[in-house]
Structure 1
Amino acid sequence: MSPGDGASGGGEGEYGGVGQTRTRLPDRATDVYGGARRGRSSSRSLTTVVGVVVLLIAAIAFANRGGDSSADGTPDNKPNAAPTAATGTRPVRTTPGTIPSGYPHNEQGAQSAAANYAVALGSADMFTKARRDEILKAIITPSRVADFESTLDKAYTPEFNKKVGLNDDGSAPQGSTFVSRTSPIGSKVTRFAADQATVDVWCSGLLGIAGPNSTDPVTSSWFTITMQLEWSSGDWKIVQHSQKDGPSPVPGDDRASTADDMAKAVQEFGGFTYAR
């Protein structure tokens, strides 16, 4: 995920308006994950620092509303949202360790591209320049790559890395695991033309440091990324993107895992490279 609010990839090298406030006292004073609900000020500050990256400020359209009436005249309150499901369209080309490419030149292809690009831009790889540049070249329209590289080079600085809890070079402190993943929940096309599309991708994200001495434990967030895409050289590419918080569910009563459990989960559960 990028340095946004829940951007959300993971340190394992994969591309991966709440309701009531609840207070829970920690059961273990020695573990920052020991059951206390953590504030989200750290991850929100990241959004402010790297506002231009990938997860930042734009229109959000979360539910398709509309409806018919049933045969007996009773209003049908079920949403008429298009399902995010397999359609029989041939999958895109994928190579291990790379971002999928070769999306269909249609609305489904634009949604698939946007969902997978959200995963890549939310990965921990964005915190190292070499990998970040590779990602940008793969998903940004050629005429905008240089601008994106320049902007992000100014954002991902040693000072910024320290604020996230990383070393100057973007690596995690010894004995810790850096977590940054974005998981698309759904997508919708808000505008489509022959060679242009605007897609909203609703996502959840994880961001933080899993470690016994971490002052920035892994927290979750919800956000919607809006991507403007264009058809370029036989594929969908990003022209620009932005983010807005939510839609966010009411937090549940799940107890936060320990630092060790979180680190193991990130290392054992690989991220997905094809989101839709």
Structure 2
Amino acid sequence: MPGLMESVARRLIIIIVATGTVSVIGGLVIGRYVIPDKGASPDTASVAPAPSTTPTPSPAAIAPTPTLVPKPDSAEGKPADSASTSQIPGLPTRINEFGIPIGYPRTEAGAVSACANYDAITGTLRNREPSRIRMMYDSIALPESSKRISDTIIKNDKDSAKAYGVPSIQSPDFSLIGRGIGYAVRSYNDNEANVTIWGTVAFGIYGNSDPNLAPRQGWGTDFCQIVWHEGDWKLKDAGDGPAEPDITQRAAESFKEFLLVGAGT
């Protein structure tokens, strides 16, 4: 365990303490592309969520979820389960070659932790380079989902570059930073989970005098659908949700907070 914790401490790992569910699901995705809106309030939504076969529960239908505590990691580094004395629910067991935490327990806390970390990869421009993003999704998504999701993001990024008048979003003047802040569990069972990640994204051209092109920020959600596959949570679908609520709105209070472990590098 010391080796694992040292690797975790070298970067920000999002670990979710699933002490309850929420009644409101809001809006942002870091996978959406951004188009100048000629002065309208920031709303960068462009990729509609795929239809879900699991309906979103109404506020009255959502019951509290007990705290989930995973088992300590095995010597083989396999995901832990919920029968544990560990004090960190949802803890991943290792980090893959792309710096993505993997190896989650088969619990609700593990599912939310997986969605949060899988969502975070698109909040950094370096990770959105086409060849890299394909390999990253190959490492965390189902084989039939990896190409579809990465192709969508690559196309959106090309559209963004064209709209902002830069060769690509990898241009030194282009800004894109996304950060996940909270989460809502839409549905969960031992085989599949649907989670909404709420956060903020900033985008634009540094130093541009046009307020429609200069960096701006907005709040919203990403949706994440994962399934239990070959001993870990794998991404089945992901995309943009509604571009709300702002952190100043009462609805923002309904998203659960993350427990953050370690420090970024």
TM score, norm. by length of structure 2: 0.60
Which residue is 1:265 aligned to?
none
- What whole-Å deviation, never above 9, does each CA across 1:121-167 have from its counterpart, x for those lacking one? 2332354211221222133222212323444444333x5313135x3
1:209 aligns with 2:208: no
Looking at structure 2, the residues matched to 124 and 152 of structure 1 have their Cα atoms a distance apart, in angstroms, of 12
Q: Partner letter of residue 238 of structure 1?
A: L
Q: What amino acid is the match of 1:139?
A: I
Task: Give the secondary structure class of the aligned counterpart of 1:245.
Answer: coil
Are 2:176 and 1:180 equivalent residues in the alignment? Answer: yes
Equivalent runs, 1:60-79 vs 2, <5 Å: none
Could you say which structure has the larger radius of gyration?
Answer: 1
Q: CA deviation at 1:232?
A: 1.6
Q: Does structure 1 retain, via aligned residues, the 8 Å contact 2:208–2:214?
A: no
Question: Could you list the runs of 4 or more consecutive aligned residues of structure 1 that deviate by over 6 angstroms after TM superposition?
Answer: 57-66, 80-83
What is the aligned partner in structure 2 of residue 170 from structure 1? 169
Counterpart in 1 of 2:31?
Answer: 2
TM-score computed with the length of structure 1 as normaliser? 0.57
Q: Residue type of the partner of 1:161?
A: A
Give 1:248's aligned residue. 246
CA distance in 1: counterparts of 2:143 and 2:221, whole angstroms: 25
Q: Structure 1 residue 224 and structure 2 residue 249: aligned?
A: no
Please name the residue that 2:157 is paired with.
Answer: 156
Structure 1, residues 80-116: CA drift from partner, whole Å, max 9, x if none?
7989xx9424443125852111111110011111111
Structure 1: where are the runs of 5+ without partners? Answer: 7-37, 67-79, 252-270
Displacement, 1:233?
2.0
Report the CA distance shift for 1:39/1:93 in structure 2 as closer, same or farther (over 3 A): farther
Shift of 1:197: 0.7
Say if 2:149 and 2:238, in contact at 8 Å, map to a contact too.
Answer: no
CA RMSD, aligned part only?
Answer: 4.0
Distance 1:218 1:245 in 2: 17
Quote the residue 2:138 is aligned against: 137
Please tell me the residue identity of whatever aligns with 2:140. Answer: I
Closer, same or farther in 2 for the Cα pair 1:82/1:200, shift >3 Å? farther
Quote the sequence identity (%).
23
CA 1:208–1:137 in 2, change beyond 3 Å: closer, same or farther?
A: same
Name the CA distance, whole Å, in 1 between partners of 2:50 and 2:216. 20
Aligned length: 200
Q: 1:194 to 1:3 in 2, by over 3 A?
A: closer
Distance 1:92 1:63, change over 3 A: farther
| Aligned residue runs from structure 1 range 1-276, under 5 A | 1-4=30-33, 39-40=39-40, 44=43, 46-48=44-46, 51=47, 87-89=87-89, 90-94=91-95, 98-125=99-126, 127-157=128-158, 159-165=159-165, 167-173=166-172, 176=173, 178-211=174-207, 216-242=213-239, 243-250=241-248, 272=264
Q: Which moved more, 1:146-155 or 1:117-126?
A: 146-155
With over 3 angstroms needed to count, the CA separation of the structure-2 counterparts of 1:87 and 1:202, relative to structure 1, is: farther
**Residue 20 of structure 1: aligned partner:** none
